[in-house]
Amino acid sequence: MAVKELRGYLRGREPGEVPAIIRAELFALGAPSASVSMHEDEVGAARALLLWARDGDFLLLSSQSDRDEVLELVEAVKSARWKPGGDLPIASVV
């Protein structure tokens, strides 16, 4: 699981506060700490999940604030015929 910061949706909270709450709840529900990664933004979370994925995995990439950039990354890996377990083909996608 990749937990990400949504800087545009702080709603009065401090940066990092909401991801910390989500992470703590995942641990309280029994998620092992090694299965939860923290990321500064949605693109970083998407990259981490793509790099983590293996053949046959199903990924759900939830994107609220960086949707265009995440879609650009997905299109780049699709165009390159990327396979899970390999390096991401495009380094220029932020």
Please give the residue range of the domain that contains residue 44. Answer: 2-79
Domain membership of residue 64 (yes or no) is yes
Domain membership of residue 89 (yes or no) is no
CA atoms within 13 A on the CB side of 68: 0
Give the dihedral of Cα atoms 64, 65, 68, 70; nearest 10 deg.
Answer: -70
Domain membership of residue 86 (yes or no) is no
Domain membership of residue 93 (yes or no) is no
- Angstrom distance (rounded) from CA 71 to CA 85: 20
Q: Which of 70, 11, 15, 23 is nearest to 42 (CA)?
A: 70
Domain membership of residue 59 (yes or no) is yes
Domain membership of residue 21 (yes or no) is yes
pLDDT attached to residue 93: 52
pLDDT attached to residue 91: 56
Averaged pLDDT in 10-residue chunks for the chain of 94 residues:
87 92 95 92 92 93 89 92 86 53
- The count of domains in the chain is 1
H-helix or E-strand containing 16? none
With 0.75 as the threshold, say if the pTM is over it.
Answer: yes
pLDDT attached to residue 43: 92
Domain membership of residue 52 (yes or no) is yes
Please, where are the H alpha helices in 29-66? Answer: 42-52
Domain membership of residue 56 (yes or no) is yes
pLDDT attached to residue 54: 94
